[in-house]
Amino acid sequence: MRIELAQLPCEDGNLQANLKTALAAIARTRSDSDLIVFPETFLSGFPTPENVASLAQPLDGHAVSLLLGAAREHKLSIAIGLAEACDGRFFNTTVLLTPSGLAMSYRKVHMWASDQGVFAPGERIECCEWRGLQVGTLICYDIEFPESARAQAILGTELLLVTDGNMDPFGPVHRRAIVARAMENQMFAVLVNRCDRNSSGTGLQFPGESVVVDPFGEIVAECGAGPEQRVVELDLTVLTRARAQYDYRKERRIGLGGAVHQDKNGRRWFSVEPENTPPSA
């Protein structure tokens, strides 16, 4: 399986420019690539409370339709982040688009400081079947919570896609976390980060350093700090080898609670139940 990491800059607040960048990256993909992965909220950049309404897109809107057209033209699947508008609320969302349509949409569950007051949190962790694999997505800050990836493992996820928007000085945090999440859940993990300076005046620097990790926790490929569109080949037999001697999913004794749900299309999800009660002394 071949995956392309679209570690590219985007312009905060410039939907049209970012859409153009994404379509150009899709057009550059190799003919034998299966999937291209972009960073968090790549289409919109990071919105503010003042401009999120003008940047957020419905999932059946023009921007997603153009990307679906590109997926069909290039016989390629696309994972990309955007600000989603739905029923008067806004979500930090990643979609998985295939030539057949919208395979999955995931709304970020864990809100970073700059998400608060802009986005509503998502309410479930989910995955779907794609090319014979169970594929799930998480977004940026989600990866710092082990329960997020463990919920994906409970769903059966074998390939975890993380759309990232992690800035300095926190860049190393996600590089460490993604290795742990892949190893402790015996899954492939693909993390794609931004590589630019925030254009909204905050001066934040996004360090890139996208990475692919195998189910043993070994780094398969990694990017540097600058723009890069890197092709990575995954040896899917590693999944079987990683789980041959022991399988954490089957041998764990501490559960997360909640139930796994599945619809008629094979999409699975795990409802989020926040723990609001502090533990007793």
How confident is the model at residue 275, as a pLDDT? 67
- Chain segment 117-176, per-residue pLDDT in tens: 999 999 999 999 999 999 999 999 999 999 999 999 999 999 999 999 998 888 789 999
- Exactly one of 4, 10, 84, 108 is catalytic; which is it? 108
Give percent above pLDDT 90 in the chain.
Answer: 82
**What is the tally of structural domains in the chain?**
1
252 located within any domain: no
Query: Quick check: is 40 catalytic?
Result: yes
- Exactly one of 10, 127, 128, 140 is catalytic; which is it? 140
Task: Report the CATH number at residue 97.
Answer: 3.60.110.10
Is 0.75 topped by the overall pTM? yes
117 located within any domain: yes
Burial of 278: CB neighbours in 10 Å, binned 0-12, 13-18, 19+: exposed
Containing domain of residue 220, as a range? 2-242+264-271
Closest of 235, 14, 17, 35 to residue 128, by C-alpha: 35
55 located within any domain: yes
Query: Quick check: is 140 catalytic?
Result: yes
254 located within any domain: no
- Chain segment 187-221, per-residue pLDDT in tens: 999 999 999 876 555 678 899 999 999 999 999 99
Query: Quick check: is 108 catalytic?
Result: yes
187 located within any domain: yes
279 located within any domain: no
- Chain segment 43-91, per-residue pLDDT in tens: 999 999 999 999 999 999 999 999 999 999 999 999 999 999 999 999 9
255 located within any domain: no
